[in-house]
Structure 1
Amino acid sequence: MRRIREGRAPRVLELCSGCGGLSLGLSRAGFELVAHIENDPLAAASYAINFSPPPGVSAQTWAIARDMVSQNPHDLSLELGLGPAEKAFDVLAAGLPCQAFARIGRSKLRSIAGDDEAFKNDPRAKLYKRFLEYVEIVQPIAIIIENVPDILNFGGHNVPEEICQTLEDLGYSTGYTLLNAAFYGVPQMRERLFLVAVDRSLGIRPSFPVPTHRANMTAGYEGVRTVALRHVCTVSSRFVPIPKATGGLPEQISVRSALSDLPFITEHFRNPLEMRRRKIADRLPYRSFAGLTPYAQLMRKWPGFRSDGEVSGNVVRMTPRDYPIFRRMAKGTSYPEALKVAEELFEARLTAEPVRPRAGSSRWKELRKECVPPYNPGKFPNKWWKLDPDLPSRTLTAHMGKDTYSHIHWDSRQQRTLSVREAARLQSFPDGFQFAGAMNAAFRQIGNAVPPLLGLAVAKELKRVLTSTMTIERSIAKQSKEYAA
């Protein structure tokens, strides 16, 4: 705390850092990124590309993929030239893996293992316990944890309550709540849990940022919140009431205002060879330079990540069968609508044949395969979704690394799913942020990340608390009395 009083930035160790979404927010808020741990090699490489290593640390060392289970924090601190781990870090942060906690992830784990309890046995479900071991070793002043809301109802168990209880035993004041990214200037409905803890000697309670924007929560997201809170005692001293938006705030950021200035992409159907040759690092001119929305200006001019004239990440998934479906789908519609359009296209193809093929014949099956997706609308009603340009996007997920049909561009002339840069924009990554690896890896990194603007809001509130003059003076005075005694 004395270091912070002297104006020096709080030093952060981030576990499960991914490519650096939360780190962007922390850095912008005035924290110093001195160490990170990420076991995905490409995400670790992206982190190293975008954030400079501490003085004296090589780029190769900074980019090493590390596993938080096997990595000893003492060894990491010494390897980075930071001295003993208990003196090297002021803040410990983590966006712990959510696959075992999210309901979608639980279903997948059940189907793979054939075990209804598979999600409870997944090793990633136990990583929060390893995180608590880091707390004991590092002894940070403050702690940030981010995860999906379903972590509040993990088979009937409220994991954040357990974490808070352990942290309180270790000398921290704790609190957790749910924050939706759309209320903090992100053009995306993304509901997430945040847990914050501060050293009890500071004499303060953790707090969370007030919304910066007004947003309209849809029934689906309200439902997610309701289910997640089922096992939460809302009068608990640890659960902090969800911050509410007040009157006079700016409106939520729409998809149109977030993406309209980015390149107009049609090469995937006009010149497929050109799209196949395009690399994620290749740059194209912006579509427009005048009349930019405030959000577009922020994405272009983020300090340390400015992008002038051209932008990278203009690669899209090649799905020729579905271009006509994308073109004809109405904005805001999902897979049942797509299937209806596909059946109409199939009927048109049958009618155009010199002799209409008999149902079930080889030619009939061939044409159907060329026109109609094979997915059952009862099982996959939300597999496809065409963006509504006047609303924030739905949640981006890591599954975008496998398919991007959950986010189809609203502009029918482009008849495609989102590009990497467009997905990054919806997650609030600035245009100068670069992603290591090819398209699929970039989508996965983006979907796994904490939206930088949401991370910034949480980080600014924590920084405000930590740099409060009364807090610092009270803490130092209290510690001085304890040492004297």
Structure 2
Amino acid sequence: MSKPQTIVSFFSGALGLDLGLEAAGFSLRAVADCNKAALETIELNQHAKKGRPLVVFSEPLTENNVEYACAKIIKQARLKVGSIGILAGAPPCQPFSTAGKRLSLKDERASGFDIMFNAVALLQPRYFVIENVKGLLSAALKHRPLAERGPGFPPLKPSEEYGSAFRRILEDLKAFCEKTGYCATWGTLNAADFGVPQKRERFVIIGARDGSSIWPVATHAENGSDGLHPWVDFQTAVADLNENEPVYQPFNEVNLEYLRRIPAGANWRALPTELQAQAIGGAYHSWGGRCGFLRRLAWNEPAPTIINNPRSRATMLCHPAEDRPLSVQECARIQGFPDEWRFAGAIGEQYRQIGNATPVGLGSAIGAAIRRMISSRNKIRYCGEVLCANREILEKLRNRPRTTLNPYFMRENTGREADCAWLGKAGGLRKGFAALKIRPVC
């Protein structure tokens, strides 16, 4: 590109996605966010931005004011409709996160996808990027707790099926692309596959106005297979990070007593058997991996997903050798922020901004894929199409059940026959995914 194409950012947060896109050669011109600490972080780092100051839209983005927001940004940034290189956004992920209440599209924050689609239609950027949590793939329009599924409860409604919220988003995306001619490619990306020292899977949509299908190509693999670089581990990521006084929020003494017994790379399962139930409470009698409870990181592996509270009981991030959570600076380094990047607010707010951000390295990989398409002379057009980039994800969506039940030990054992009868009414495979299209190998 002879001249850097511009980025307009919605739901900007601490600018992780935007820093990555800039590293790939694009230029951030305008941001939109209403979070006080995020806005202060953006202001704190204005000095690091070369050229003109960023245009900042600081009002809450809603479906009712998105047209006003776009018009204001266009005017203040001196841009034109159709001239923007990338419209990027990472709408709030809490409605779809498996760590949240899973209110899904009932959560007012879930309108972020509609806001992004409307903004693309209004601004007509050459490309758009939307990032969110992988949990979106299984989110239901209306969440029904596991304890309320099975014999004795009403049959599952279509809105309560796994994936029903995601199916609605795909339907909206398909209608949008058919109307505007954009091609949208969607799927999941693991940040570790792009040199980020963190195993963090994210849902991503990349849209192209010219009908191109764009998707990043992995540069790293877990064991360096297929000629790729091996994943970057935690020790490599923080080796030259010199913190005389790490900034963090300490664990309580109860958790510390357990953590002192747990070696690097282990969790609550490393405790003596007689302490395990006491250590993780009611979760001991639950099911699933529960691998985040009392978790101490390994030196020789990428970090787990950096979350907005490393002291969280079920998703703990304890330093491999020290009896403390990861520091603010360690979390920022793992997320790919420059060491000089400053975060506003109290310690908890700094953690929150870092944990909610898109890894900078993942944003850079997405930007590099867009740049390669800009330079390509052999473009294949898929105007109006919505394409899945991950065949394995598509197969899972097509073949996974509409619901699951708690194991017998967590509910009254009504018998397999009763279970099968209830699942016969509420079960079966997920609907609406059979017609989804896979992205051709490009």
Q: What is the TM-score with the length of structure 2 in the denominator? A: 0.70
Question: What CA deviation, in whole Å up to 9, does each residue of 1:374-429 have, x standing for no partner?
Answer: 66433566332110111111112234486796111111xx2111101111122222
Q: Which residue number in structure 2 is paired with residue 360 of structure 1?
A: none
Secondary structure of the residue aligned to 1:177 is strand
Cα displacement (A) at 1:162: 3.3
Cα displacement (A) at 1:172: 0.8
Could you say if the C-alpha distance between residues 162 and 25 of structure 1 is closer, same or farther in structure 2, counting changes exceeding 3 Å?
A: same
Q: Which of 12, 22, 25 is the matching residue for 2:20?
A: 25
Q: Which residue number in structure 1 is paired with residue 308 of structure 2?
A: 398
Secondary structure of the residue aligned to 2:299 is coil
Question: What CA deviation, in whole Å up to 9, does each residue of 1:140-197 have, x standing for no partner?
Answer: 1111111122323332332245314412321112211211111100111111121111
Q: Which residue number in structure 2 is paired with residue 179 of structure 1?
A: 189
Quick one: distance in 2 between partners of 1:42 and 1:11?
25
Instruction: Tell me which amino acid in the other structure corresponds to 2:69.
Output: P
Quick one: distance in 1 between partners of 2:351 and 2:313?
9
Instruction: Tell me which amino acid in the other structure corresponds to 1:326.
Output: L
Question: What CA deviation, in whole Å up to 9, does each residue of 1:181-231 have, x standing for no partner?
Answer: 11100111111121111113xxx5322121111116xxxxxxxxxxxxxxx
Whether 1:316 aligns to 2:248 is yes
Cα displacement (A) at 1:133: 1.1
Quick one: distance in 1 between partners of 2:302 and 2:214?
26
Aligned partners of 1:404 and 1:418 also within 8 Å: no
Could you say if the C-alpha distance between residues 13 and 375 of structure 1 is closer, same or farther in structure 2, counting changes exceeding 3 Å?
A: same
Question: What CA deviation, in whole Å up to 9, does each residue of 1:423-465 have, x standing for no partner?
Answer: 1122222212211112111111111111101110110110121
Question: What CA deviation, in whole Å up to 9, does each residue of 1:266-302 have, x standing for no partner?
Answer: xxxxxxxxxxxxxxxxxx45xxxxxxxxxxxxxxxxx
Q: Which residue number in structure 2 is paired with residue 418 of structure 1?
A: 326
Q: Which moved more, 1:454-463 or 1:155-164?
A: 155-164
Aligned partners of 1:10 and 1:91 also within 8 Å: yes
Instruction: Tell me which amino acid in the other structure corresponds to 2:354.
Output: I
Quick one: distance in 2 between partners of 1:75 and 1:137?
9
Could you say if the C-alpha distance between residues 378 and 442 of structure 1 is closer, same or farther in structure 2, counting changes exceeding 3 Å?
A: farther
Quick one: distance in 1 between partners of 2:264 and 2:233?
13
Q: Which residue number in structure 2 is paired with residue 68 of structure 1?
A: 61
Cα displacement (A) at 1:335: 3.1
Could you say if the C-alpha distance between residues 418 and 144 of structure 1 is closer, same or farther in structure 2, counting changes exceeding 3 Å?
A: same
Quick one: distance in 1 between partners of 2:114 and 2:276?
51
Q: Which of 98, 105, 126 is the matching residue for 1:120?
A: 105
Name the count of aligned residue pairs. Answer: 348
Secondary structure of the residue aligned to 1:436 is coil
Secondary structure of the residue aligned to 1:12 is strand
Whether 1:129 aligns to 2:114 is yes
Q: 1:362-441 maps to which residues of 2 (within 5 A)?
A: 376-379=283-286, 382-400=292-310, 406-411=316-321, 414-441=322-349
Instruction: Tell me which amino acid in the other structure corresponds to 1:184.
Output: F
Q: Which of 160, 163, 171 is the matching residue for 2:173?
A: 163
Question: What CA deviation, in whole Å up to 9, does each residue of 1:230-265 have, x standing for no partner?
Answer: xxxxxxxxxxxxxxx8622221111111123334xx
Secondary structure of the residue aligned to 1:386 is coil
Quick one: distance in 1 between partners of 2:50 and 2:236?
37
Q: Which residue number in structure 2 is paired with residue 145 of structure 1?
A: 130
Q: Which residue number in structure 2 is paired with residue 15 of structure 1?
A: 10
Q: Which residue number in structure 2 is paired with residue 327 of structure 1?
A: 260
Aligned partners of 2:292 and 2:314 also within 8 Å: no
How large is the RMSD of aligned CA atoms in angstroms?
A: 3.1
Q: Which residue number in structure 1 is paired with residue 43 of structure 2?
A: 48
Q: Which runs of 5+ in 2 are unaligned?
A: 141-162, 380-442
Quick one: distance in 1 between partners of 2:314 and 2:137?
28
Cα displacement (A) at 1:337: 3.8
Aligned partners of 2:88 and 2:129 also within 8 Å: yes
Instruction: Tell me which amino acid in the other structure corresponds to 2:59.
Output: R
Q: What is the TM-score with the length of structure 1 in the denominator? A: 0.64
Q: Which runs of 5+ in 1 are unaligned?
A: 110-117, 217-244, 264-283, 286-312, 345-367, 472-485
Secondary structure of the residue aligned to 2:348 is helix
- Identity in percent: 27
